Structures are given as structure tokens and as C-alpha cells.
């Protein structure tokens, strides 16, 4: 969480809107601290198992997902295949989203 402490704001709160996943990274870390368990374990036990979501899980490199949908990104005005994001530390927010100046 200390990586957020010294980052400057891009604009004053309420002036603009810019989507960013950093809040989810913070939330996952808060969940770990409060529950005393890894985020992936917490989500599995407290959400997916309770709701009987038997085909739902935190994504990672261990599951083979047949017919996984492919994503696209725009590069130079043209569509291209998006790179697959590898989820580290069970968080779906990537570090470059946080450290970008």
C-alpha cells in the first residue's frame, strides 16, 4: 500500500474522471489484512462457495479455459490481438497501472 502514498494526483477530485483499477488493488490488500487470508482464498470461501458458484474462480495460469474469449486493443488506429494478462499475487490490477506517472 505504500506505493500509493507518494503518488501525485493527476487532477483534483471531482474535476475529471479517468478509469483506473488501483482501487481494486487496494481493496484486495485490505481484504487480506482484515481476513488474514490470501485474496484468492477469501473470494473462493466467502463468495464463490457460499453462492454455490461451482464454475467460478479467480483466473490464473492453472485453469485451461476452452473457447476463452479473445480480447482486442487499438494500436495506431488499428485493432490487434490484446496480450493476455498474467495475474500476479491474485490481484487483477497490474503493477503498471499503479506506477504510471
Can you give the pTM of this predicted structure?
Answer: 0.59
State residue 49's pLDDT score.
Answer: 95
Which DSSP category does 1 fall into?
-
Q: What percent of the chain has pLDDT over 70?
A: 74
Q: Cell 496480450 belongs to which residue?
A: 83
Residue 60's contacts (CB-CB under 8 Å, 6 or more residues apart) are: 40, 87, 90
Measure the CA–CA gap between 73 and 1, rounded to whole angstroms: 29
Average pLDDT over every residue of 50-67: 80
Amino acid at each position: 500500500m505504500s506505493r500509493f502514498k507518494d503518488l501525485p494526483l493527476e487532477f483534483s477530485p471531482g474535476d475529471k474522471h479517468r478509469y483506473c483499477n488501483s482501487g481494486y488493488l487496494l481493496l484486495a490488500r485490505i481484504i487480506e489484512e482484515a481476513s488474514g487470508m490470501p485474496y484468492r482464498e477469501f473470494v473462493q470461501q466467502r463468495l464463490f462457495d457460499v453462492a454455490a458458484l461451482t464454475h467460478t474462480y479467480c483466473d490464473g495460469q492453472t485453469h485451461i479455459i476452452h473457447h476463452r474469449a479473445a480480447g482486442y486493443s487499438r494500436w495506431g488506429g488499428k485493432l490487434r490481438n490484446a496480450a493476455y494478462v498474467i495475474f500476479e499475487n491474485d490481484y487483477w490490477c497490474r503493477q503498471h497501472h499503479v506506477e504510471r506517472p
